[in-house]
């Protein structure tokens, strides 16, 4: 009895070959079908090429392409980070180490300083990112270093280490943005910030720390003085107002007294115009009374012995 149950062995082999061929064809068809579709994520963009020539840029979604003819190159468009002047390393106590050839720079007063930056960027044009430069991120880093050095050299070392960091960041950001637009590598600057700035040697570092401490103490002294000033100014103003008010009161009293004296003088002058002799005598007697209040004054003509006590005369006149 034959092992093929009486059937022709050649027919069975042919059937097997046919089945294998059909299976292979189905697999090829499935591969082609699956190759016709591709998906672009939310944080991606895709550049589609036909025989190496760019046909377009696709955003998030599901798309069809010609298998083996068209190629899809996906580009991540999320924000990325880049360290300049240092390298992160969790194995070291400071969580990183400095790169002197990137960090060390010269300042306007011909001092050296180590300054580190953290740069954030993202792909703004996937086509330029893929084809404008072979290593666009390396170009970005070189441009950033150039802008940083061109900016830091305009500042003295104490400003670079202390008060000038914000201004340096702003100038570097503006300059690097312009350079990236000119370079046209499809990268957009998101932000760049100073991570750290310090002198290159320990001795200079200690000196700058001492200077910074002195500046902080000076600021504290100034703030204390301003506080004392703010406390004393209201008291001084109150005292000044009281003195002014007292002076105004004295002024008013003096003016009233002077006006009274003027009125009295005018009254006497009117009487004088009516009776000049009598007025003169009265003024004379009043003056003697004021000057010699305790004396007895006798008036005589030099030939008689008749006496006239001044006080009686004055009383009679009054």
The residues with which 114 forms a beta bridge, in sequence order, are 104, 198
- Cα 284 to the chain's mean position, in Å? 84
Q: Which two tokens stand for residue 273?
A: 């115009």
* CA-wise closest residue to 186 among 235, 121, 99, 273: 121
Q: Percent of the chain having pLDDT more than 90?
A: 27
Cβ–Cβ < 8 Å for 157, 113:
yes
Compute CA distances 182 → 93, 147, 150, 193, 194, whole Å: 40, 13, 17, 22, 24
Range from 65-69, 103-107, 127-131 carrying the lowest mean pLDDT: 65-69
pLDDT tens-digit map of 199-208 = 776 666 666 6
- The pLDDT of residue 121: 96
pLDDT at 92: 42
Highest mean pLDDT among 19-33, 70-84, 91-105, 281-295: 70-84
pLDDT given for residue 286 in this prediction: 76
| Contact assessment for residue 198 and residue 161, using Cβ atoms and an 8 Å cutoff | yes
- Mean predicted confidence (pLDDT) in 252-280: 80
Q: With helix as H, strand as E and coil as C, how does 142-204 read?
A: HHHHHHHHHHHCCCCHHHHHCCCHHHHHHHHHHHHHHHHHHHCCCEEEEEEEEEEEECCCHHH
User: pLDDT of 169-227, one tens digit each?
Assistant: 999 999 999 999 999 999 999 999 998 888 776 666 666 667 677 878 888 888 888 88
Which of 12, 6, 72, 8 minimizes the C-alpha distance to 39? 72
Q: Which domains does the chain have, with CATH numbers?
A: 9-74 (no CATH), 80-200 (3.30.479.30), 275-317 (no CATH)
Decide if pLDDT at 308 tops 60: no
pTM of the model: 0.56
pLDDT tens-digit profile of 138-172? 999 999 999 999 999 999 988 898 889 999 999 99
What does the pLDDT read at residue 280?
73
């Amino acid at each position: 009895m034959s092992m093929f149950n009486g059937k022709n062995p050649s027919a069975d082999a042919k059937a097997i070959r046919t089945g294998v061929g059909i299976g292979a064809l189905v697999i090829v068809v499935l591969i082609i079908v699956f190759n016709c579709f591709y998906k672009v994520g939310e944080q991606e963009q895709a550049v589609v090429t036909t025989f190496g020539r760019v046909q377009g840029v696709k955003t998030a979604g599901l798309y069809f392409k010609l298998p083996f003819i068209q190629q899809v190159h996906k580009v991540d468009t999320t924000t990325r980070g880049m360290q300049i002047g240092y390298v992160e390393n969790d194995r070291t106590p400071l969580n990183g180490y400095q790169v002197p050839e990137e960090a060390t720079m010269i300042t306007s007063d011909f001092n050296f300083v180590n300054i580190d930056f953290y740069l954030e960027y993202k792909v703004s044009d996937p086509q330029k990112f893929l084809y404008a430069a072979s290593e666009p991120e390396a170009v970005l880093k070189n441009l950033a270093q150039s802008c940083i050095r061109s900016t830091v050299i305009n500042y003295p070392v104490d400003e670079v280490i202390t008060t000038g960091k914000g201004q340096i960041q702003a100038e570097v950001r503006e300059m690097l943005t312009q350079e990236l637009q000119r370079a046209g590598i499809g990268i957009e600057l998101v932000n760049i910030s100073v991570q750290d700035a310090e002198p290159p040697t320990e001795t200079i570092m200690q000196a700058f720390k001492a200077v910074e401490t002195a500046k902080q103490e000076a600021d504290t002294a100034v703030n204390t003085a301003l506080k004392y000033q703010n406390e004393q100014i209201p008291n001084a103003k109150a005292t000044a107002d009281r003195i002014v008010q007292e002076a105004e009161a004295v002024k008013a009293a003096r003016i009233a007294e002077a006006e009274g004296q003027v009125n009295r003088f005018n009254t006497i002058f009117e009487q004088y115009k009516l009776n000049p002799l009598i007025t003169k005598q009265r003024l004379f007697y009043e003056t003697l009374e004021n000057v010699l209040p305790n004396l007895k004054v006798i008036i005589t003509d030099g030939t008689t012995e008749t006496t006239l006590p001044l006080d009686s005369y004055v009383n009679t006149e009054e």
